[in-house]
C-alpha cells in the first residue's frame, strides 16, 4: 500500500510538471517528445531510487542515489512553485481570453495562441529558475558543515558543581549512500573542538548494515569527552535487519548504548542521572521503549536527563518527572514548507521548549534523509551548557 501511494503521488507530481513545463510550452513535435522522454526517465530514476532497493532488499548505490535524490528535491520545489503560480496562470489566461484582438491578419486565433505560449514559457522559466535556485542553496546547506549551537539550559535541581557542564547533542547523522566516513569525521572533529564533558548521540545514525557502513561510523571511536559518549536508537536503527549488530559495533567504538536504562554522572559528591529509551519504532522489533526500566532507580533529589530520539516521547517523560529530554528526529523540518507537516506530528521542530515541568531540546540533526537538501533548517550540532538554579 505504501508503494502504491508513493508511486501515485510521484506520478501526479511528474504529470503536473509535464503539463505546465512541457506540453504547455511546446507544440506537438520532436521537442515535446524529447522533453517528455527526459521527464519520464527522471520519474523512473526516482522510483528506482526510492522503491527498488527496498523491494529487492539491496543497497542503494551512490551512482543511483545521488541523481535520484537530487531530482527528488528539485521535483518537490518545481511542484510547489507550479502550485503557487497556478492562480496567476489562471488569471492571465482569463485576461488573454478577454483581451481585444488585433485585426485578423490572416487568422484571428494566432495572436492569442502566441500570447498563451509566451506566458506559459515565461512561467516555466520562472518556475525552473526559482526551483533550481532553492534546491542549489538547499544542497549547499545540507552538504556543508553543521552549525555549532551553544545553548544555555537552566535546571533548577542541578547541583552547582555541574555549572557549565557541557553536553554535545548530535542526532540524525544518517550515514548511507550519500553520507559516509568524511561526514562522520567532520562531526567528530567539531564535537571534540567544542570540548564537551559528555556526548549524546540521539538516534538515526545509519541507513544500512554494519557490513555496508561500519567503516563510515568508525570515526565515532575518536570522540573525546570526560564523562563518555552515549547513544540511543532512532527509528532508522530498526529499518536494518540486525539492530543488535549495530549496538555491538557502537559499543566496540566506545559508545555507551542506553537501551531503556540509566547511569549516574558524578562530580565529587554531586550527581545527576542520564537515562535513555529506545525509539518507538522498536515496537516493530520487540524492542520497544520502556520508561519503567529506563528510569528505574533514578534519584528523586537530583535532575534526570533523558535521551529519546523522538520529541513525541516527551509526554511520557513529563509524566515521570524528567527534567530535560534531548531529542532529534525532526530535522527541523529539513525542507520548507514541509516544516508544517512535521509540526503536526511532533511537539517541537527544533530548539528548547517546555512541556509541563520538563524541558525539551530538539536538534535539527547533522545529516539529512532523502534529498540532500535543507531549506530553512540548517544542520546542527548543539552544545548545551547546564546551569543550576531557577
**What confidence tens digit (pLDDT) does each residue in 112-131 have?**
557 788 888 999 999 999 99
Sheet holding 380-388, edge to edge: 147-155, 380-388, 166-170, 198-201, 229-231, 256-257
Q: Span 152-170, mean pLDDT?
A: 96
The reported pLDDT for the residue numbered 58 is 67
More confident residue, 89 or 334: 334
Average pLDDT, the chain: 92
The reported pLDDT for the residue numbered 59 is 73
The reported pLDDT for the residue numbered 6 is 80
Report yes or no on whether pTM surpasses 0.85.
Answer: yes
Domain residue spans of the chain: 1-97+114-141, 147-388
| Per-position b or e across 65-81, b if 16+ CB within 10 A of its CB | beebbbbbbbbbbbbbb
Q: Which CATH number fits domain 147-388: 3.60.21.10, 3.40.50.2300, 3.40.50.80, 1.20.140.10?
A: 3.60.21.10
| Separation CA 12–CA 18 (nearest Å) | 10
Distance of CA 130 to the CA centre of its chain: 22
- Tens-place pLDDT, residues 342-361: 999 999 999 999 999 999 99
Cβ pair 218, 182 in contact under 8 A? no
Q: Span 159-166, mean pLDDT?
A: 96
Largest pairwise CA distance in the chain:
97
- Tens-place pLDDT, residues 24-35: 999 999 999 999
Q: What string of DSSP letters covers 99-145?
A: SPPPP-SS-THHHHHHHHHHHHHHHHHHHHHHHHHHHHHHHHHHHSP
pLDDT class of 4 with cuts at 50, 70, 90: confident
Cβ pair 324, 198 in contact under 8 A? no
| Separation CA 190–CA 381 (nearest Å) | 8
Of 37, 67, 74, nearest in space to 49 by CA: 67
Question: Does the pLDDT value for residue 104 go beyond 80?
Answer: no
Q: Span 86-111, mean pLDDT?
A: 65
The reported pLDDT for the residue numbered 91 is 78
Amino acid at each position: 500500500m505504501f508503494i502504491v501511494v508513493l508511486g501515485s503521488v510521484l506520478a501526479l507530481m511528474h504529470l503536473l510538471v509535464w503539463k505546465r513545463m512541457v506540453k504547455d510550452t511546446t507544440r506537438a513535435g520532436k521537442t515535446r517528445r524529447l522533453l517528455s522522454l527526459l521527464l519520464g526517465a527522471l520519474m523512473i530514476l526516482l522510483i528506482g531510487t526510492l522503491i527498488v532497493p527496498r523491494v529487492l532488499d539491496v543497497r542503494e548505490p551512490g551512482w543511483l542515489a545521488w541523481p535520484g535524490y537530487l531530482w527528488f528535491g528539485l521535483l518537490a520545489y518545481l511542484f510547489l512553485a507550479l502550485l503557487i503560480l497556478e492562480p496567476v496562470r489562471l488569471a492571465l489566461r482569463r485576461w488573454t481570453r478577454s483581451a481585444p484582438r488585433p485585426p485578423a491578419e490572416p487568422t484571428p486565433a494566432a495572436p492569442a495562441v502566441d500570447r498563451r505560449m509566451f506566458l506559459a514559457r515565461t512561467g516555466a522559466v520562472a518556475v525552473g529558475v526559482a526551483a533550481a535556485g532553492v534546491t542549489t542553496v538547499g544542497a549547499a546547506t545540507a552538504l556543508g558543515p553543521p552549525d555549532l549551537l551553544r545553548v544555555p539550559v537552566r535546571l533548577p535541581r542541578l547541583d552547582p558543581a555541574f555549572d557549565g557542564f557541557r553536553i554535545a547533542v548530535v542526532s540524525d547523522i544518517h550515514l548511507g549512500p550519500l553520507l559516509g566516513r568524511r561526514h562522520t569525521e567532520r562531526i567528530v572533529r567539531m564535537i571534540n573542538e567544542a570540548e564537551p564533558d559528555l556526548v549524546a548521540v540521539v538516534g538515526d545514525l545509519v541507513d544500512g548494515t554494519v557490513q555496508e557502513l561500519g567503516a563510515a561510523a568508525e570515526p565515532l571511536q575518536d570522540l573525546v569527552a570526560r564523562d563518555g559518549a552515549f547513544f540511543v536508537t532512532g527509528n532508522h536503527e530498526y529499518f536494518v535487519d540486525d539492530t543488535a549488530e549495530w549496538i555491538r559495533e557502537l559499543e566496540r567504538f566506545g559508545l555507551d548504548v542506553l537501551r531503556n536504562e540509566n547511569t549516574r554522572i558524578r562530580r565529587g559528591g554531586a550527581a545527576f542521572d542520564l537515562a535513555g529509551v529506545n525509539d518507538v519504532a522498536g515496537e516493530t522489533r520487540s524492542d520497544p521503549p520502556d520508561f519503567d526500566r529506563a528510569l528505574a532507580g533514578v534519584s528523586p533529589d537530583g535532575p534526570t536527563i533523558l535521551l529519546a530520539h523522538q520529541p513525541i516521547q516527551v509526554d511520557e517523560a513529563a509524566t515521570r518527572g524528567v527534567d530535560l529530554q534531548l531529542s532529534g528526529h525532526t530535522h527541523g523540518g529539513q525542507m520548507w514548507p514541509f516544516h508544517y507537516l512535521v509540526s503536526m506530528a511532533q511537539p517541537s521542530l527544533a530548539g528548547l521548549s517546555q512541556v509541563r515541568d520538563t524541558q525539551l531540546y530538539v536538534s535539527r540533526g547533522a545529516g539529512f534523509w532523502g534529498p540532500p537538501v535543507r531549506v530553512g533548517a540548517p544542520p546542527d550540532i548543539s552544545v548545551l551548557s547546564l546551569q543550576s538554579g531557577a
